[in-house]
């Protein structure tokens, strides 16, 4: 098939998932056309089946707000027509679903009905989309999509709770490419971070308030008081500065490393012992799933879809949002018991295997075939 994928090209989970999906589809022989305003960060391989179309937004002195959505819709039309696309798959509703609706209407005038599949990822529904500024357009464009998917049962529920959705939402969970983690941890790397064999705790996110990185630091300070340990903070964002202050205030500065944005996160995860994700909300928590693929158990909140992937007492532990005490106790308990730790590592990997790309990508292919047939035959 010839598939157009629209996503955010940045480090966020929705862009990562969309890019990994495109790469997996290209490996299976599909032609994948990425339509984004920048080369997606995970699009770092050459594959003859992958095409990249940059959305350019011309500026003009009149525009305080350059109309990105129009440029995106026009680029979609161009790619649909000139590359004979079979379908468009847009990731993150805002503004991708409404731009896709517009593109669909334009090509409809030329007698072509292109199926549009919208995948909801989280904040497009739970945070941004619910805002009255966007809600009517989000509801409309989701309903106008030929198929809607959500990355967890929780997100499906949240979407139906807050929007008047008239179609069934299919849950297709996020996936991870376990083969990327099939390598030996680099001992020298672990030695640099933890020269005295300290335990390595890790967190990765976009450092937005919703991630509660402050809780990560507080949990680490509790652990660090009992167990020799290091904390790796991967990513960057608005809370970074505050976190630097907090690690100083809690006097753990020497044991915390801010690594910034990292492309090769698997190398870092493979030397880690415990992943922390105490978020206020996660529709899924792809970062935690990537940790599990690297045999790393997870201590997380039980918000949103997190308890669908992090099984309490099996792949790690979950606690209520903000319950730093329980999360710290669980971390200390697990890190203190090598046998339990080994079991949790195996459980985490088994969970990641359940969410392996080999199991999930065929579900998207099935959906594509179904909607291509339905829309073309209509
Ligand atoms: O977590 C973020 O702030 C980024 C956001 C995104 O849209 O890239 O992540 C969302 O989508 C990911 C991929 O489906 C999910 O794993 C994250 O849980 C979800 N984030 C939230 O729901 C807050």
Q: Are residues 194 and 276 in the same domain?
A: yes
- Determine the Cα–Cα distance for residues 217 and 221; give it in Å rounded to an integer: 6
Residues 6+ apart with CB under 8 A from 223: 199, 201, 229, 328, 331, 332, 335
CA dihedral (366, 371, 372, 376) positive or negative: positive
Regarding the beta carbon of 42 and ligand 1, being less than 6 Å apart is answered no
Residue whose C-alpha is closest to residue 120's, from 161, 172, 167: 172
**How many A from CA of 195 to the centre of ligand 1?**
34
**How many A from CA of 14 to the centre of ligand 1?**
6
What is the CATH classification number for the domain harbouring 225? Answer: 3.40.50.2000
Q: Are residues 128 and 188 in the same domain?
A: no
Check residue 176 and give its pLDDT. 96
Regarding the beta carbon of 208 and ligand 1, being less than 6 Å apart is answered yes
Q: Are residues 133 and 163 in the same domain?
A: yes
Q: Are residues 268 and 338 in the same domain?
A: yes
Q: Are residues 80 and 208 in the same domain?
A: no
Q: Are residues 69 and 197 in the same domain?
A: no
Regarding the beta carbon of 122 and ligand 1, being less than 6 Å apart is answered yes
Pairing of strands 316-319, 298-301: parallel
**How many A from CA of 291 to the centre of ligand 1?**
15
Read off the pTM: 0.93
Check residue 377 and give its pLDDT. 64
* For the chain, percent of residues with pLDDT exceeding 70: 98
| 3-class SS string, the chain | CEEEEECCCCCCHHHHHHHHHHHHHHHCCCEEEEEECCCCCCCCCCCCCEEEEECCCCCCCCCCCCCHHHHHHHHHHHHHHHCCCCEEEEECHHHHHHHHHHHHHHHHCCCCCCCEEEEECCHHHHCCCCCCCCHHHHHHHHHHCCEEEECCHHHHHHHHHHCCCCCCEEECCCCECHHHHCCCCCHHHHHHHCCCCCEEEEEECCCCHHHCHHHHHHHHHHHHHHCCEEEEEECCCCCHHHHHHHHHHCCCHHHEEEEECCCCHHHHHHCCCEEEECCCCCCCCHHHHHHHHCCCCEEEECCCCHHHHCCECCCEEEECCCCHHHHHHHHHHHHCCHHHHHHHHHHHHHHHHHCEHHHHHHHHHHHHHHHHHHHHHC
- Determine the Cα–Cα distance for residues 376 and 86; give it in Å rounded to an integer: 9
Q: Which residues of the chain have pLDDT under 70?
A: 11, 375-378
Q: Are residues 217 and 310 in the same domain?
A: yes
Torsion of CA 138, 144, 150, 155, to 10 degrees: 40
Regarding the beta carbon of 119 and ligand 1, being less than 6 Å apart is answered no
Q: Are residues 167 and 198 in the same domain?
A: no
- Determine the Cα–Cα distance for residues 159 and 352; give it in Å rounded to an integer: 25
**How many A from CA of 121 to the centre of ligand 1?**
6
**How many A from CA of 254 to the centre of ligand 1?**
30
Regarding the beta carbon of 286 and ligand 1, being less than 6 Å apart is answered yes
Regarding the beta carbon of 351 and ligand 1, being less than 6 Å apart is answered no
The boundaries of the domain holding residue 365 are 2-174+357-377
Q: Are residues 216 and 315 in the same domain?
A: yes
Q: Are residues 222 and 165 in the same domain?
A: no
Q: Are residues 186 and 330 in the same domain?
A: yes
**How many A from CA of 300 to the centre of ligand 1?**
15
Closest ligand 1 atom, CA of 286? 16
Q: Are residues 168 and 200 in the same domain?
A: no
Structure tokens that stand for 180 in this block: 């990327």
Tell me how many domains the chain contains: 2
Check residue 130 and give its pLDDT. 76
Contact between residue 271 and residue 193 where contact means Cβ atoms under 8 Å apart: yes
Closest ligand 1 atom, CA of 17? 13
- Residue of 12, 15, 234 to mutate, ligand 1, most atoms within 8 A of C-beta: 12
- Residue of 14, 138, 239 to mutate, ligand 1, most atoms within 8 A of C-beta: 14
| Partners of 33 in the β-ladder | 4, 51
Range 162-169 contact pairs with CB under 8 angstroms and sequence separation of 24 or more = 162/125, 162/126, 162/129, 162/130, 163/125, 163/129, 163/135, 163/138, 163/139, 164/139, 165/139, 167/143, 169/120
**How many A from CA of 284 to the centre of ligand 1?**
7
- Residue of 122, 159, 175, 205 to mutate, ligand 1, most atoms within 8 A of C-beta: 122
């Amino acid at each position: 098939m010839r598939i157009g994928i629209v996503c955010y090209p940045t480090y966020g989970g929705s862009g990562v998932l969309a890019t990994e999906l495109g790469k997996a589809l290209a490996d299976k022989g599909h032609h994948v056309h990425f339509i984004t305003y920048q080369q997606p960060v995970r699009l770092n391989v050459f594959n003859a089946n992958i095409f990249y179309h940059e959305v350019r937004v011309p500026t003009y002195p009149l525009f305080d707000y350059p109309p990105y959505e129009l440029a995106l819709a026009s680029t979609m039309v161009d790619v649909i027509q000139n590359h004979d696309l079979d379908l468009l798959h847009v990731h993150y509703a805002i503004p991708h679903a409404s731009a896709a609706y517009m593109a669909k209407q334009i090509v409809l005038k030329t007698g072509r009905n292109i199926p549009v599949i919208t995948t909801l990822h989280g904040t497009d529904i739970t945070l941004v989309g619910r805002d009255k500024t966007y809600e009517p357009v989000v509801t409309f464009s989701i309903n106008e999509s030929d198929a809607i998917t959500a990355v967890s049962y929780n997100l499906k529920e949240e979407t139906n709770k807050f929007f008047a959705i008239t179609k069934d939402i299919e849950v297709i969970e996020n996936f991870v490419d376990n083969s990327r983690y099939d390598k030996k941890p680099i001992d020298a790397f672990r030695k640099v971070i933890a020269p005295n064999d300290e335990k390595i705790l890790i967190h990765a996110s976009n450092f937005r308030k919703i991630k509660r990185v402050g809780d990560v630091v507080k949990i680490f300070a509790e652990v660090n008081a009992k167990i020799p340990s290091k904390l790796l903070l991967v990513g960057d964002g608005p809370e970074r500065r505050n976190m630097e202050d907090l690690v100083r205030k809690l006097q753990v500065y020497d044991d915390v490393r801010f690594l910034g944005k990292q492309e090769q996160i698997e190398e870092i995860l493979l030397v880690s012992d415990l992943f922390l994700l105490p978020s206020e909300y996660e529709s899924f928590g792809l970062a935690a799933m990537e940790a599990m693929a690297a045999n790393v158990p997870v201590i997380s909140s039980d918000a949103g879809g997190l308890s669908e992937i992090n099984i309490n007492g099996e792949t790690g532990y979950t606690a209520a949002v903000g319950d730093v005490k329980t999360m710290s106790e669980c971390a200390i308990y697990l890190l203190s018991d090598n046998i339990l730790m080994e079991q949790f590592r195996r459980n985490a990997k088994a969970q990641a295997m359940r969410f392996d790309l080999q199991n999930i990508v065929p579900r998207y292919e099935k959906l594509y075939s179904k909607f291509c047939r339905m829309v073309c035959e209509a």
